[in-house]
Structure 1
Amino acid sequence: MRNIQFYDSNRVEGRSVTIIIDNGKIENIAKNYTKGTGIRALCDGSWGYTSVDGDSDKEEEFKNATNLAVWMNEKTPREKIELEPIKAPSVSNMPKVKSNPEDISIEEKVEFLREIEKHAQEEGIKSTRVSYSEAFLKTRYESSEGVEAEYHLVRTGFSISAVASENGAYQVGRESRFSISGYEIFEKYDPFELAKHAAQTAKELLGAKTPKGGQMPVILDQELAGVFTHEAVGHASEADLVLQNDSVLKGKLGTKIGSPLITVVDNPSLHEYGFYPFDAEGVEAQKTVLIQKGVLNSYLHSRETGSIFKSRSGNARSQGYSIPVVRMSNTYIENGESKFEEMLEDVKNGIYLVGSRGGQVNTGEGVFQFNAEKGYLIQNGEITTLVRDVSLSGRVLDILNQITHVGNDLKLNAGHCGKSGQTVPVSDGAPHISISKATVGGA
């Protein structure tokens, strides 16, 4: 077919519901339906990609993708692309839905969200907001190599935020949970307790002070350590960024880049929010060890980058039926052997950073800055004063080498990751970790 050595398609059908309650009033109830197909064709060194919403004429779309690939290859010829060989995936071990969200009426969901919100409306709280989402996804993959596979997945999630204010100042407490499950998410996580916790956090932060910044020993909780793992380590491990000279980990495969206490993995087969049975190229999900006891073991790959690095692929992901991009799934630091009390005793005087409020990372330069939700001063090996407006920054490789303890209390947190204009569900996590010296931002 006109020098086309490969083509594939991703057909996606989805439906979703989102409900938002703001200060007791319905702000939004939205139902969305999506259906479409993304088609790729490979001509020597050029990809042609087309997408169509709704039902499509498969032959017509393959022809369009083919024409685009051939045209691009004629205009700007590139070195021929090889794809890592794969076999058809086995779609098994799928998550089970215990309570179908569609069996619960919108009215019931709205009333339940209002009940959740009431638990956050404590004295001193000026504003509250609760949201809920559910999504049903059906994905079918087909390729010219004869690979055909399909799966169905349900994702649900909710979030609660509470705002406390005083004398013109305000602070926000927020809790969110997302899961590959049905309406039983409210059995897995207690939304009333989480609502209370969001309110308490907002009120506590209102009275907290900003600490003095500088370099000091630091303990990161599971959430902030997970954000560091995802943003600073995971993205730098994506092979497309490595090939674009936009990763501090380029050229470091097989070399020691961190403490021997650290093992970092990405595992889409785990029943966490970043789960998938096969990726957007039909490759079966499998655990990838990125860092093995401090040594860089592997990057994350598509079939194209996997062929270049002679490594297994399985990390090409798409938002809907968009073009596949190398992405993380469930990325985390594996459990170590230290107890939290041992970390406190070892740190003696430093700071304990808890939760995340976002941040930024430059994967090429290997520098980062993350904002913690809150912190606690550590004095004489004990947690003391609550502090706010505190951040962690530094160089990725420095921090990896300065990790002195890895806890035995791994937790994963669900969220969403953006890259190349696409957003996909992910989870990240870690046990508690301690760092001998890091830059903490404050007053």
Structure 2
Amino acid sequence: MSGMLDSGDTLTTGTGETLLVDRLLGSGGQGEVYRVTLPDGSAKALKWYYPESATPQQRQVVEDLVARDFDDERFLWPTAFVDAAPDRFGYLMDVRPDRFRGLPELFRRTVTTTFRELLTACLYTVEAYQALHSRGIAYRDISWGNIFFDPATGDVLVCDNDNAVVEGDRSGISGTMGFMAPELVRGDPGAMPGTQSDLHSLSVLLFMFLVNHHPFKGARELAIRCLDEHAERRLYGRDPLFVFDPDDADNRPDPVEHTTVRALWPLVPVSLQRLFTQNFTKGLREPSARVRESQWRDALRAARDAVVECPNCGRQNMTEPGAATPGTCWKDGTPLVLPPRLVVTTPPPRTERHIMLGRAARIHRHHLTAEPTRHDYSDGSLVAELVEHPQKPGRYGLANRSAEVWTGTRSDGTSQRIGPGQTVPLRSGLALELADGARAEVRAR
């Protein structure tokens, strides 16, 4: 093992536990990560800082993060401080499960996923950072290198949390070039990393999730002969220009070099395109105009609920929520057909949720709440799902997967009770009384 630590080395945490170094897992800009074994035989990951990064300032940041005891499974949070000398230290965190993959694998197409799971990952990412911000903590280094996602579920995991600090704290780094807010790249007077600059970084990350490309890398970047620090500061700070800026086409993606972003951008629902455009035009000049987490959350949820499958090839397509014409399939050009939709009305403050009832449609607990604290698309939050009749192919019903009894009212006025595990035939006009005062109605397109 070639690293700062050797296999078999022992270290001690701030609480007196002895760690046994197993092997090197990887390295980054600030240090190396090792797999270590605790006295009870369990495994943890240890981040060990390079000497030039092991500053008194960084030491204080890590000690403060450990003391904060932030308990959220979406973050590999520092759980214990490990100290060998004033300039030799690190921290423990949980080991990243193998199911979580990095964005570079998505860009290289070495992992397969779907639009639903990508939108889920984007939504979960927004809510993860929103949870941090709600506690008065700025992450300050949101980038594609610090987020991992499960292609099968959309679950996300935020790593490298040792740069997060209390809002207003000037210690630590300002971010990763390419994700930093323009005012930080330029070094504007009074500009400092915080939740406002995090909103810019978050938008860049979401753009890369959905179109696999940086929002400022177009014709201008191709014209740069040497992409050194001076050129990067111009590209991201002094003269940033969105590749799809509606008023300036000077930085459009190249037809040969940028085929992926040119192909994927038209597939993004217009409601999301508008938010990206707002952030990468007005938001570049006015930090207060940047899209808030709540705006991203609502738009991403609506977009996920509006995904439909192609009637010919079965591929998932993103459609604009509420649109009357869904367009054509991105894969084979077949005209898309809008399925019936379930319109859920939440208890006060009343809000409508429109869920397309195509194949694999599922309704979750958060659909029944006007302001959910967190979205959850796992089986544990399932309320209802679309199922096909076992003896009559092509006939569908809505299965009650909750623990509550529903009351259903047909279009002719007759009613029925739908208990847990029972299914009600899917017919236009069907009205349902669900849990906690939520109501739903099946509408034909």
User: Normalization by structure 1: what TM-score?
Assistant: 0.23
Higher percent of residues as helix = 2
- Of Structure 1 and Structure 2, which has the larger fraction of its residues in strand? 1
